[in-house]
Structure 1
Amino acid sequence: MNLAEAIIHKNVEKHAIKAAIGFKKKEAAWKELSWKKFSEIIYKTANALKGAGVQENDKVAIYSDNSSEWMIFDLAAMSIGAITVPIYSTNNAEQAEYIIKDSDSKVILVGNQAQYDACLELLQKEDNQLQTIIVAKKAVWIKKEFSSFYLEDFIAKSSLKLEICKKEDEDVATLIYTSGTTGTPKGVMLTHGNFIKAFDAHFEFFKFKNFEEELSLAFLPLSHVFERSWSLLCLYGGARVYFLEDPKNIAKALEEVKPTMMCAVPRFFQKIYAGVLEKAEEGSSLKKKIFNWAREIGWQTAELKRNEQEIPFGLKIKETVAEMLVFSKIKERMGGRLWFLPCGGASLSPEVTKFFESVGIHVTVGYGLTETTATLTLFPLTHFEHGTSGKALPGVEIRIGQDDEIQARGNGIMKGYYNKPEETQKVFTEDGWFKTGDAGKIDEKGNLTITDRLKDLMKTSNGKYIAPQQIENLLTNNNFIQQIVLIAEARQFVSALIVPNFEFLQDFIKKNNIPFTNWTEVVKNEKVVHFYKEKIKELQSHLSDFEKVKKFTLMPAEFEINSGEITPTLKIKRNVVLKKYADVIEKMY
């Protein structure tokens, strides 16, 4: 079945006037579209694409920030049997051009002026397939003589009726290009069946009650498989999805939208966790006692719920008091209604998941890749194990292969890499299992634990193996450390490049009367360096000696997406950083 049809038809039939999506333009209030109106705009867009010459299996790209238009264009393209090609809004012109050319995209939706200008330049080149540029916002200045249209004008005269193109499970729905942490991005071919079967597996796994009443806030990039799959899953299940255009406004949006569900990356949880602990630490001795008492009560309750055991009446009373005095305030900062938060992209420390569970917010840690339609394993609602990546979804099989590599097969595994048969062959075993490139282990209860990326495992000159992610997670859980890159490969000891959390460091230098000139000078200040030495010593006290960071350099600025140091999902491109700061690293040795 066509994924667009699976999402639209049943929801329009069941609740045509219920809200499907929400959006906000600049400072205006949040608005909603009903399922009936949402479907009509999708059909109008689909018919306009057909009118522009888009045929079945043609590629249609989206190069834009999150928006209602993004999702409408995606579903419209799939409705007519075209294949959607998402491009990260943060990609520069060169990166976008590579994807547009490699995918042979004919039509593209853009969101802002820079994206339009990049595509206009490409449109005027002779060696490209791009024929039409659609612009989501009228604030963008366009040259209409170069086959450029505002979306509103593009669909204005289109029909509201559409016969959705029939699709089989094996038909490609989208090409999602890997973010390229190592090497050239590859177009991952995911099918209509990959998505639909994965969605059905999630609903079988969680057995949600009244899912249609849930509200999800999409703030991670829709161009990434995680947010796109989650948002489509929510719509598939009849829940509302609100689209946040600027992720920097997440704190305000949480208070305004008050979502019940939302997917996020580990850094989101680490920042909240560190912020709450810092605030508790700064409070009076009475407030500290109340916080620690509430946390203990929350943990006791959470453990009983996790194991589906009855909560004694006395503990229920204490939980109510803890909720009133402490937990409700933490939840209010997140909108007050969040209870279910899928987390992916990297590992998350057990102390963080335990903290949120104590507060009454279930962080569903999962594991997967673009090539696996996001999810292979994840925490169930009960009987999960902190510190793991959960259990395999129905229809997914996991095994540990050579060099402890995690291998998988099942519903969500990609069809292959677009136009790259040799690359596709490399990532599959002879008996058809997908090789993830990650190392891990499976316990007797079926819980998967990620050891590390096989490519990231480091061997010191003393022959000791270092798994950097675990140590990096340990250190970035602290509110004074924003980003970190470990160095150990072929070295006699572990060192690190550390990006401070400048917000917290600002408070520290004020309290310690350290004059602020610029961050380059501040991170070299003796008091600041000594503070971080003591902080790191304390944080890694339980590690083996060979795993401990012996030397570090404080960086004066964050690693950036635009400079290619991190991916749009905030994963550090280790190879890029190591090469760029080679001189800084050598000085530590």
Structure 2
Amino acid sequence: MNLTQFLNTNTEKFPERAAIGFKKKEEWKEINWKNFRRMVFKTANALKNAGIAENDRVAIYSDNSAEWVVFDLAALSLGAVSVPIYSTNNREQAEYILNDSEAKIILVGNQEQYDAALEILQNSQYLKEIIISKKAVWIKKEHSQYLEDFIKKADENFDIAEKDDEDLATIIYTSGTTGVPKGVMLTHGNFHKCFDAHFDFFKFKNFEKEHSLAFLPLTHVFERSWTLLCLTGGAKVSFLENTKLIASCLTEVKPTMMCSVPRFYQKIYAGVNEMVAAGSDMKKKIFRFAMNTGSEVAELKRLGKSVPFGLNLKNAIANALVFKKIKNKMGGKLWFMPCGGASISPEVTKFFDAMGIHITVGYGLTETTATLTAFPFKNYEHGTAGISLGDTQIKIGENDEILAKGSGIMKGYYKKPTETAEVFTEDGWFKTGDAGRFDEKGNLMITDRIKDLMKTSNGKYIAPQPIENLLSNDNYINQVMVAAEGKPFVTALIIPNFEALKEQLPKLNIPFTSWEEVVKLDKVKDFYHQKIEEIQKQLSGFEKVKKFVLMPAEFEIGSGEITPTLKVKRNVVLAKYADLIEKMYLH
């Protein structure tokens, strides 16, 4: 069955209920299921009229938007294969993906993407047409038209193409922390079976009344799968186009669900703790009372036990005094928050649990259609990645590598038989590249990326992620990358949280000049040195960061230093700042 079949099912069930939400001219609008299906079908017919046939590739190079999802579903319902490209990719990266996938038509979102696509089209033997989602983009007429004009004359009646489980639905190019992007081939069956596994695992009640906010890039398998799962289950999805506006968007949209990466939760955790630390003794006392009460309640709920009346009463007070204010900044209605893309420390998940917001930690890859394991609603263990979903099987192979089998595993890498063969064992297990183990209760614990493990010159193994997580849980630290491979001790490149540091400067009697100058000042270095010493108390001597450099600017997606899910690309950063790292070992 074609995975877009939900368009018919949900339109028949609740034609007038809102399917998607989006912001237009500073106002949030919504489209009901009947009109949503109509738009998808008109777009599918327009693609067909433009010569797109089954199995042809259609690309999307845009920020999240209603048009993104309409175009994606139109291509899939036609039986074509959609190829998403990160909106932050530069022209060279986009060109590689377009040529490799042989995409014939591309949807772009902004001027920069349009200009890049037009340049690519002029030299491409495959790309024939550019569709532009917004009228704000200035276009040259050749091979270009606005989406509105593209679909204007198309019929709204459409029969969804028949597909079976093995038929290709999408090619997602991994931004990967190493090497050239590889096109992960995911089928209609991969998505279907993953969605079934999730609904079976979580057993949601009245899912069609939920409202999700699409905040992560739809190009990434996590948001794409989650958004499609929400739409399949009849929930409404609102699309945030500019991720920098997340704070105001949460209070406007008031979603009940949202998937995100650890950095989002770390920032809230660090910000709240910093605020409390700067508050009066009375405020600290109230906060401690609230956290202790909330933690007690969360622990009973985690174990599936009932909460005594007296404790519930205390928790209502904690909620009124502390938690409600924090929750309201997140819209006030969030209750289900899948989290993946990198590791998250147990301090952060326990903190949110105490507030009554459960972070559902999960683990998966693009190659596994996202989720392999996740926290169940009860009896989950903080600090783990949960238990497997659906028919997923997991075992630990050589070098503690996590191996997986199941319905979510990809068909392979597009046009890369050698690379495909390399990631499967002879008996068909997919090699994740992550190291892990099971705890005594059968929860999967991720120790690190195998490629990321570092061995010091003293023969000690360093797993960088837990150290980096520990440091970036602090409000004054935004990003961290530690180095230690073949070196006598651990060093780090640290990107400050510039907002928090700017507020701190007057207290240190430092006038702000430029970040290039500020991060080199001894007073600032001493401030961070004390912080890092304090944070690292619990680490073994050989794991502690002995020297660090404060960076004057954040790692950028555009320059390839981090992935779109904010994971540091170690090989890129190590190469780019090799001299800086080397200097730390000279003095």
TM-score past 0.5 threshold: yes
CA RMSD between the two structures: 0.7
In structure 1, what is the Cα distance between the partners aligned to 2:447 and 2:175? 21
Partner of 1:339: 335
1:152 matched residue in structure 2: 148
Letter matched to residue 517 of structure 1: T
1:384-443 alpha-carbon deviations (Å, 9 max, x no partner): 000001110021111000000000010100000000011000000011000000000012
Does residue 1:120 correspond to 2:127, yes or no? no
Give the Å deviation of 1:143: 1.6
The yes-or-no answer on 1:518 pairing with 2:517 is: no
- The residue type equivalent to 1:4 in the other structure is T
Secondary structure of the structure 2 residue equivalent to 1:188: strand
1:524 Cα deviation after fit: 1.2
Contact map agreement 1:23 1:68 (CA 8 A) in 2: yes
3-state secondary structure, aligned to 2:158 = coil
Q: Distance in 1 between matches of 2:352 and 2:512?
A: 36
Once residues 185 and 75 of structure 2 are traced to their aligned partners in structure 1, the CA distance between those partners, rounded to angstroms, is 15
Q: Which residue in 2 is equivalent to 1:11?
A: 10
Deviations 1:38-92 (A, max 9, x none): 0000000000000000000000000000000000000000011000000000000
CA contact (8 A) 1:266 1:344 kept: yes
Equivalent residues in 2 for 1:350-389 (5 A)? 350-389=346-385
1:90 aligned partner = 88
- Which residue of 166, 179, 182 maps to 2:178? 182
Q: 1:59 aligns with which of 57, 60, 72?
A: 57
**Native 8 Å contact 1:122 1:128 kept in 2:** no
Q: How far apart, in 2, do the equivalents of 1:444 and 1:408 lie?
A: 19
Percent identity for Structure 1 against Structure 2 = 68
Equivalent in the alignment of 1:558: 554
Q: Is the 8 A contact 1:61 1:108 kept in 2?
A: yes
- Aligned-residue offset at 1:525: 1.0
1:134-172: CA deviation from partner (whole Å, max 9, x where unpaired):
00011111122x211100000001111001100000001
Instruction: For structure 2, list consecutive stretches of 5 or more residues without a partner in the other structure.
Output: none
Distance 2:29 2:372 in 1: 34
Q: CA deviation at 1:114?
A: 1.0
Larger deviation, residues 78-87 vs 116-125: 116-125
CA distance in 2, matches of 1:247, 1:519: 24
For 1:99 and 1:563, how far apart are their aligned partners in 2? 17
Tell me how far apart the structure 1 counterparts of residues 561 and 299 of structure 2 sit (CA, whole Å). 39
Unaligned runs of 5+ in 1: none
Question: What secondary structure, in the 3-state scheme, does the structure 2 residue paired with 1:455 have?
Answer: helix
Residue 274 of structure 2 is matched in structure 1 by 278
Q: 26, 29, 35: which one pairs with 1:28?
A: 26
The structural deviation recorded for 1:444 is 2.8
Paired residue for 2:259?
A: 263
Equivalent residue in structure 2 for 1:136, among 111, 133, 137: 133
Pick from 565, 573, 576 the counterpart of residue 572 of structure 2: 576
What CA distance in whole angstroms lies between the structure 1 residues aligned with 2:170 and 2:356?
Answer: 36
SS of residue matched to 1:364: strand
Q: 2:436 aligns with which of 435, 440, 444?
A: 440
Provide the TM-score with structure 2 as the length reference: 0.99
Distance in 2, matches of 1:549 and 1:559, equals 20
1:459 aligns with 2:455: yes
Q: How does 1:176-575 map to 2 (within 5 A)?
A: 176-575=172-571
SS in 2 for 1:255: helix
Matched, 1:162 2:158: yes
Deviation at 1:128, TM superposition (A): 2.2
| 1:587 is the counterpart of 2:586 | no
Deviations 1:276-308 (A, max 9, x none): 111111111111100100000000000000001
SS at match of 2:27: coil
Distance 2:386 2:564 in 1: 25
Aligned to 1:42: 40
Q: Please give the alpha-carbon distance, in whole angstroms, between the structure 2 residues aligned to 1:159 and 1:366.
A: 41
Question: 1: distance between equivalents of 2:343 and 2:462?
Answer: 16
Deviations 1:7-66 (A, max 9, x none): 2111011101100000012x4210000000000000000000000000000000000000
* Aligned equivalents of 2:400, 2:409: Cα separation in 1: 20
Determine if contact 1:392/1:446 at 8 Å carries over to the other structure.
Answer: no
Instruction: Find the aligned partners of 2:272 and 2:152 in 1 and give their Cα distance.
Output: 49
Give the AA of the match of 1:97.
E
Separation of aligned partners in 2, 1:112 and 1:526: 43
Q: Return the offset for 1:511.
A: 1.6
User: How many matched pairs?
Assistant: 585
Question: Please, what TM-score do these two structures have when normalized by structure 1?
Answer: 0.99
Amino acid at match of 2:51: G
Where 1:367 maps in the other structure, the secondary structure is strand
8 Å contact kept, 1:176–1:188:
yes
Letter in 2 for 1:326: V
**1:342 offset after TM fit, Å?**
0.5
CA distance in 2, matches of 1:313, 1:203: 32
The answer to whether the 8 Å contact 1:21/1:32 transfers is yes
Query: Match of 1:99?
Result: 97
Cα distance in 2, alignment partners of residues 358 and 24 from structure 1: 33
Tell me the SS of whatever aligns to 2:20.
Answer: strand
Alignment partners' CA distance in 2, 1:28 and 1:526: 45
Contact 1:92/1:562 (8 A) holds in 2: yes
Q: Distance in 1 between matches of 2:309 and 2:136?
A: 59
The residue type equivalent to 1:413 in the other structure is I
Measured after TM superposition, the shift of residue 221 of structure 1 is 0.3
Counterparts of 2:567 and 2:347, CA distance in 1: 21
Q: Any idea what SS the aligned residue of 2:452 has?
A: coil
1:81 aligns with 2:70: no
Question: Contact 1:403–1:439 (CA<8 Å) still a contact in 2?
Answer: yes
Letter aligned with residue 155 of structure 1:
I
Amino acid in the other structure paired with 1:268: F
Cα displacement string for residues 486-538 of structure 1 (whole angstroms, at most 9, x for unaligned residues): 00000000000000101111111112211211111111111111111111111
Q: Residue 418 of structure 2 aligns to a residue in which SS?
A: helix
Measured after TM superposition, the shift of residue 215 of structure 1 is 0.4
Name the CA distance, whole Å, in 2 between partners of 1:122 and 1:559: 27
- CA distance in 2 between counterparts of 1:355 and 1:10 reads 39
